[in-house]
Each structure stands twice: as structure tokens, then as C-alpha cells.
Amino acid sequence: MALLTFESPNSIAKIKNKLIVADTSYLITLSDANDGRNFLFDDFHFKTLNAGANFIINVIVRQEFIKKTREIQMIEAIWDLYTTNPLLQSRYHTVLNFKYKPLTLANLGSSNADKIYKDHVKQNDSPMLLAALKKNIWDDVKQFEKRANLTYFGGGGQQSWDDMGKLMQTTGLSATDAMIANFALAIGADGIITGDCDFAPLSDILDIYIPNSIASMCKIYDPAKD
């Protein structure tokens, strides 16, 4: 088991016919054509699919990905309303306490978008906001999962909260990441594919696939094993 990079000439062969759990950070970059790393992720993903890799997600990963998809679409809808409706501009400024500065895409963000959504709920005009959504959120997620050939496992293996707790204690993983790792171990997965280095402490028991730009910042990374 090792920390393995997308760019390694050996990665495709190593992942061939393997069962790999995909985490949320991987899905977010893979699904976002505007992300600077999207080409790398997309290229690696579909090459490994052609090599017979099987990508699995669980309820934790799917829930987080749906949340992120909703967040992105809500921000876009709010921005469209803000830029076309002067009355809403004044209202949104009040909600966000932006008395002396304009609202921009850069400072809208997920927390401010959530405040605006909650204000629409309070004012009983959330249908206005929902009508501005460009896509059906769940349909968008389903289409992505189908295109990426992801298999959803609602459960499986002998997962336990005690095992999850041990992973948190011994690796420092967040509760969410520990649940993903616990799931991977419980179903007998061969590895985890991710967009960050949080799972690096597990590279002694699972293959962890990450971009070289991330691996090179992790002291545990050994190029000789890649």
C-alpha cells in the first residue's frame, strides 16, 4: 500500500480492476469544468475506468456532493436575481449587512448564500429563488454519477462506530473522512481516490490516489513506491 499519484506512469496498471472509494473532494473537482485541475482528474478518471477500475461512493460522499452541488446552484441563482432585480439588491444588502460595500460573486460565498436563502424562506417567497435555479439539483447529481460511472453503496461490510472512532483517534481524520475510510475498509476496497492529502495517514493500509502536486507536499510520499 502506498501514496500514489495520478501522473505516475504506473498508476493505471496499479488501479486496474481495483475497487476504489472516491471521496467528495475528488468528485467536486471531477465535476467542475472550471476547476484548474479538472483536466487532470477527468483524464485520469476515464483512463482508469477503461482499465477496469471500479469507483464506489457511499451515503456520506453522496450527501456531501449533493450539498456542494446545491450550494453552487444557489449562488448562481442568487447572483442572477441580484443583478436583475434592484429591489432584491437592497434587500440582500440588508440581510448581509452590506451597507457600505457591493455584493459580488467573490464575497457571496456559501454562508452568505445560505443567509439569503433563509431570508427568502422567512419572507415566504422562496419559489422566486427556486425558479431561478438553472438545473434540477438531484437530476444534475444523477447525470454526473452516470457519466463518471460511479457505483453507489448505501452500506456494506462490518462497519461500526467504534472502528470509525479508532480511525479518528489514530489518524486525526475528521468524522466525515473517518466514516469514508471506515466504509472503504469495511467493504474491502483497495484504495481511496481523493483531491487532498487528508487520507495520507492511511497509505500503510490502503492505496491512496492523489495528484502529484498534493503528494509532493506530504512527507509520507515515497516516489520510489509510486
Q: CATH number of the domain at 3-58+153-225, out of 1.20.950, 3.30.1360, 3.40.50, 1.10.10?
A: 3.40.50
pLDDT of residue 156: 60
Residues of the chain under the 50 pLDDT cut: none
Bridge partners (DSSP) of residue 208 are 3, 192
Per-residue pLDDT at 50: 92
Phi, psi for 207 (deg, rounded to 5): -75, 130
pLDDT digits (tens, 9 = 90+) for 181-208: 999 999 999 999 999 999 999 999 999 9
Domains of the chain, by residue range, sit at 3-58+153-225, 67-131
DSSP 22: E
- Count of C-beta atoms within a 10 Å radius of residue 210: 27
What is the model's pLDDT at position 157?
A: 60
AA letter at 78: I
pLDDT at 179: 93
- What is the SS3 assignment for 39? helix
128: closest CA among 88, 94, 97, 95? 88
CA–CA distance, 217 with 213 (Å, rounded to integer): 7
- On whether the CB atoms of residues 6 and 45 are closer than 8 A, the answer is no
Judge contact between 211 and 5, C-beta under 8 A: yes
**Nearest-5° Cα angle at 86, 71 to 90:** 75
What is the structure's pLDDT at 158?
67
Please give the model's pTM, rounded to 2 decimal places: 0.90
End-to-end CA distance of the chain: 10
